[in-house]
């Protein structure tokens, strides 16, 4: 056992040395490697084939210049990225993020997570991620169109429905996908609907895609609660964020009988003990693009805490749905103290490693992002299926497929955690189940 520990530590040190300064990527690798020691002990073939070393190195990393002009004719230069991490299970699949914080380390962290998340869905998709340090906030539609066209003018040569299929992420919604798809079609002279997902419903998009990540996270948490003969019914819940994932997390919690009392944005959080009025949040965020504090203009009984910490609000279920590392050790301790029994990660890696340890030690049901928020990419894969068959499914049928996939993900995670002696440790289960699926495919396909 000690030998395997030192080997894994050596691999982790190699990752740090080969990828200096990419702290988010290091964190994502560490979180997976911490689960793999018992797998390597039980199945030495993975060490013999050096699968861990190979899976930590992307198959391809693309970095390129994105020049564009604003409405005043000024020239801007941004940097574009696409990390095609692993194609053992299918074409690379993962979103594009437009945000000023984007750099290679963020994209590699997200792409590495995507390998395992995609594997858990059971769908034939590999892992990748991309984006740019472009900030779309405050930009006109015309400026965003010019940026997206410039971005796709370079990226298109690396894409294809059998090669690499991007989707949206932070800063990339239906508008941006539309502009990029139009440019791809213009350059290639191909209506290749399956090359981008998150498309508009009138031209190849899938119903439920908007709701999928939030709905899926709630379905996963509900499956965790079922193992304790419990459910969302009557539970007080807190959902961080107020974007797409958060909004549809709240919607599905409401459907299942829970009550969400707090939501947030980057400026602060609102608390409404009667339960947040989701229709108002949708109006503020999806239509008017205003701040969450404006909720209190309509509901005088609600409170807004500028710069506040939403995890101070007592709840039984917490759903971090905003961004990475938003919930730390102290937040986790506060949630446990206030009676939290379940946590589902709607965002990518929103809980720090120290925070996850607090939850596990306290016996809190904890759904890691690679499992709990896999509903988004699962529905993207369903969109690819519809595009391939020139078909369009109903909302009810697509949601049924999503629900089945999330139940399957939960089952795989729980069974693997039980096989390795820690039933209910979903971090362990998710990492092992997804790693073994990808690793077995890599071995079968030879040293490539």
DSSP, residue by residue, 150-176: HHHHHHGGG-BTTTEEEEE-TT--HHH
Strands 268-271 and 303-306: antiparallel
Q: Catalytic site residue 129?
A: yes
**CA 185 vs CA 49, 160, 172, 298: distances in Å:** 41, 11, 18, 45
Confidence band of 4 (pLDDT split at 50, 70, 90): low
Give the separation between CA 191 and CA 339, rounded to whole angstroms.
Answer: 52
- Distance from the Cα of residue 345 to its chain's centroid: 9
Closest CA to 116 of 431, 443, 352: 431
| Calpha distance 33→343 (Å, rounded) | 22
Average confidence (pLDDT) over 429-442: 98
Q: Which of 42, 72, 129, 228 is catalytic?
A: 129
Mean pLDDT of 260-269: 96
pLDDT at 324 over 90: no
Q: How far is CA 238 from each of CA 196, 227, 419, rounded to the nearest angstrom?
A: 33, 21, 32
Is residue 398 part of an annotated ligand binding site?
A: no
So what's the pLDDT on residue 330? 98
Contact (CB, 8 A) for 358 and 329: yes
Q: Please, what is the Cα angle at 399 between 398 and 402, to 5 degrees?
A: 90
Q: Strands 126-132, 75-86: parallel, antiparallel or unpaired by DSSP?
A: antiparallel
- Angle (CA) 419-94-123 rounded to 5° is 50
Average pLDDT over residues 315-331: 95
Does residue 99 carry a pLDDT above 60? yes
Q: Compute the Cα dihedral for 45, 46, 48, 54 and give only its sign.
A: positive
Q: Is-contact 94 129, C-beta < 8 A?
A: yes
Q: What is the band of 320 on the pLDDT scale with cuts at 50, 70, 90?
A: very high
Residue 83 · residue 111 · CB < 8 Å: yes
Does 168 belong to an annotated binding site? yes
pLDDT band at 55 (very low <50, low <70, confident <90, very high): very high
**Residue 213 assigned as binding residue:** yes
Look at residue 323 and tell me whether its pLDDT is greater than 90: no
pLDDT at 139: 97
Residue 445 to residue 439: CA distance in whole angstroms: 10
Maximal CA-CA distance, the chain: 64
pLDDT over threshold 60, residue 201: yes
CA atoms within 13 A on the CB side of 320: 28
Dihedral angle computed from the Cα positions of residues 435, 441, 445 and 448, in that order, rounded to the nearest 10 degrees: -20
Query: What phi and psi values does residue 167 have, to the nearest 5 degrees?
Result: -140, -165
**Considering the chain, what is the average pLDDT of its residues?**
96
Token duo for residue 283? 């109006």
Is 114 flagged in the annotation as binding?
A: yes
With 70 as the cut, is the pLDDT of residue 448 above it? yes
66: part of which helix (H) or strand (E)? strand 60-69
pLDDT at 447: 97
On the CB side of 358, CA atoms within 13 Å amount to 19
pLDDT of residue 319 exceeding 60, the answer is yes
416, 417, 423, 424: CA torsion to nearest 10: -110
Instruction: Please report the pLDDT score of residue 424 as a whole number.
Output: 96
List, in order of start, the domains of the chain with CATH numbers. 60-191 (3.40.50.10860), 212-367 (3.40.50.720)
pLDDT at 349: 86
Do residues 407 and 223 lie in contact, with contact meaning Cβ atoms separated by under 8 Å?
A: yes
- Residue range 343-396, pLDDT digits in tens: 999 998 899 999 999 999 999 999 999 999 999 999 999 999 999 999 999 999
Average the pLDDT over each of 29-38, 59-68, 233-242, 252-261 and give the range with the smallest value. Answer: 29-38
Q: For residue 73, how many other CB atoms are within 10 A of its CB?
A: 6
* Residue 289 pLDDT grade (very low, low, confident, very high; cuts 50, 70, 90): confident
117 known ligand binder: yes
Q: What is the mean pLDDT of residues 47-72?
A: 97
Q: What is the mean pLDDT of residues 146-153?
A: 98
Instruction: State yes or no: 267 annotated in a binding site.
Output: no
- Please tell me the predicted confidence (pLDDT) of residue 7: 87
Instruction: State residue 2's pLDDT score.
Output: 57
226 is in an annotated binding site: no
Long-range contacts of 275-283 (CB under 8 A, 24+ apart): 276/250, 278/247, 278/250, 278/251, 278/254, 281/242, 281/247, 281/250, 282/247
């Amino acid at each position: 056992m000690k030998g395997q520990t030192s080997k894994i530590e050596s691999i982790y040190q190699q990752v740090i040395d080969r990828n200096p300064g990419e702290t988010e990527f290091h964190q994502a690798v560490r979180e997976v490697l911490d689960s793999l020691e018992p797998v390597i002990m039980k199945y030495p073939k993975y060490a013999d084939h050096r699968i861990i070393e190979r899976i930590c190195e992307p198959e391809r990393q693309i970095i390129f210049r994105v020049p564009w002009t604003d409405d005043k004719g000024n020239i801007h230069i941004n940097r574009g990225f696409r990390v095609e991490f692993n194609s053992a299970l299918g074409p690379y699949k993962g979103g594009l993020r437009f945000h000023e914080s984007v750099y290679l380390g963020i994209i590699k962290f997200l792409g590495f997570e995507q390998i395992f998340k995609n594997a858990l869905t059971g769908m034939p998709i590999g892992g990748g991620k991309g984006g740019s340090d472009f900030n779309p906030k405050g930009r006109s539609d015309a400026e965003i169109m010019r940026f997206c066209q410039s971005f796709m003018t370079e990226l298109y040569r690396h894409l294809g429905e059998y090669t690499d299929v991007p989707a949206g992420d932070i800063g990339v919604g239906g508008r941006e996908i539309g502009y990029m798809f139009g440019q791809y079609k213009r350059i290639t002279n191909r209506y290749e609907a399956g090359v981008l997902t998150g498309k508009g419903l009138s031209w190849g998009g899938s119903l439920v895609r908007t709701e999928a990540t939030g709905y899926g996270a709630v379905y996963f948490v509900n499956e965790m609660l079922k193992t304790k003969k419990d459910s969302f019914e009557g539970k007080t819940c807190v959902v961080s964020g107020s974007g797409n994932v958060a909004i549809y997390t709240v919607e599905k919690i409401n459907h299942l009988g829970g009550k969400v009392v707090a939501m947030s944005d980057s400026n602060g959080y609102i608390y409404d003990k009667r339960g947040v009025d989701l229709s108002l949040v949708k109006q503020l965020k999806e239509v008017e693009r205003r701040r969450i504090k404006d909720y209190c203009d309509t509901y005088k009984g609600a409170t807004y805490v500028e710069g506040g910490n939403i995890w101070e609000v007592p709840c039984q279920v917490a759903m971090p749905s905003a961004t990475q590392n938003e919930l730390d050790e102290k937040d986790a301790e506060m949630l446990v103290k206030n009676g939290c029994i379940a946590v589902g990660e709607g965002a990518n890696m929103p809980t720090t490693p120290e925070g996850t340890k607090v939850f596990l030690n306290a016996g809190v049901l904890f759904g890691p992002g690679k499992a709990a928020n896999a509903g988004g990419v699962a529905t993207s894969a369903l969109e690819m299926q519809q595009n391939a068959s020139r078909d369009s499914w109903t909302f009810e049928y697509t949601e049924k497929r999503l629900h089945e996939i999330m139940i399957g993900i939960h089952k795989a995670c729980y069974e693997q955690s039980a096989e390795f002696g820690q039933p209910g440790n979903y971090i362990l289960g998710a990492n092992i189940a997804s790693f073994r699926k990808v690793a077995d495919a890599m071995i079968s396909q030879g040293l490539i």
